Amino acid sequence: MSDRGTMLLLGSTGYVGATLLQEVLSSPNIPAVIHTITRQVKKVSLLNDVHPAIRAVNGDFSDTNLITSLAEQSDVIVEAADSDNELLVQALAAGARRRKDKGLVTIFIHVSGTGVLTDDARGMFEGQVVRLVELREVACGRGLASHQVRGCSNLWKLLFRPPCAQIYTDGQPIGTQRPISAIPDTAFHRAIDLAIEDADNQGVWRSHIILPGTVFGSARGTVFDRGIANAHSSQIPSQVKTSLERGQPGMVGVGELLFSFNRVQSSGAAGCWAT
């Protein structure tokens, strides 16, 4: 942060949110106050003991009055707890609107996910999708029964590969990336992202939406060492467990899809940078 303002950080006991908290506490300009919420009463004091700037309270995201009040007090709002909670975003926006009415600027950072870019490739190609029902219709039109389609990878590749694959990447020059506005409104997570963008267009806040992929790695820092936050992901360990039980790793389709992964420290650093 550029000055010692106030921050509201939601998700401070979660895998990504707590990593972001650690990044903020390691920054040269720690906010004067870091508001946060936890459902577990015992973690209130544990969080407050981590650093004098932390002001943890007991509550949950259904308490919209509490959420709105804390948002109104915060220069920066970081939502790293629930990427699909419409009521939560509305409560945060209500607090930011009160700040706007006072002439105050609010920065809003929302941790969404690359699920918004999902194209249902099913391992058959790197870009956009032809729906499974369409594949079956075409396959059956070529004299194949629908149950035979799954065993014919070449036919799958022929029918599924789109003429122009859509690949999103940060490795392009500024100004040449596909804008987030180009993502279909029906995409996963997109309804919440659109609500955030709409509030931004109204001048309620200056928003940044972060799209981490499958996050992996062991999180590090005081909140993890003291058992306050979860230090491991659920996705990668569950995949490893399933592979061990099967005696081999799994593969989706013919394995041609592109998938994004990033270390948990990268997700935390991205959120801290955006503040």
Give the per-residue pLDDT at 240: 84
**Under-50 pLDDT residues of the chain:** 1-2, 128-165, 271, 274
Sign of the alpha-carbon torsion through 191, 196, 197, 203: positive
Q: Which of 93, 54, 118, 91 has the alpha carbon at shortest distance from 257?
A: 118
Report how far residue 211's alpha carbon sits from residue 236's, in angstroms, rounded to the nearest whole number.
18
Give the per-residue pLDDT at 219: 83
Domains of the chain: 6-117+188-274 (3.40.50.720)
Residues in the chain, overall count = 275
Give the per-residue pLDDT at 175: 55
SS3 56: strand
Can you read off the two tokens belonging to residue 176?
Answer: 């040449």
Residue ranges in the chain assigned as alpha helix (H): 15-26, 41-50, 64-72, 86-101, 132-141, 146-149, 153-160, 190-201, 222-225, 235-246, 264-274
Give the per-residue pLDDT at 231: 85
DSSP for 216-264 reads: ES---SHHHHTTSS--S-SHHHHHHHHHHHHTS----TTS-----EEEH
Can you read off the two tokens belonging to residue 254?
Answer: 């013919």
pTM, two decimals, is 0.75
Give the per-residue pLDDT at 263: 67
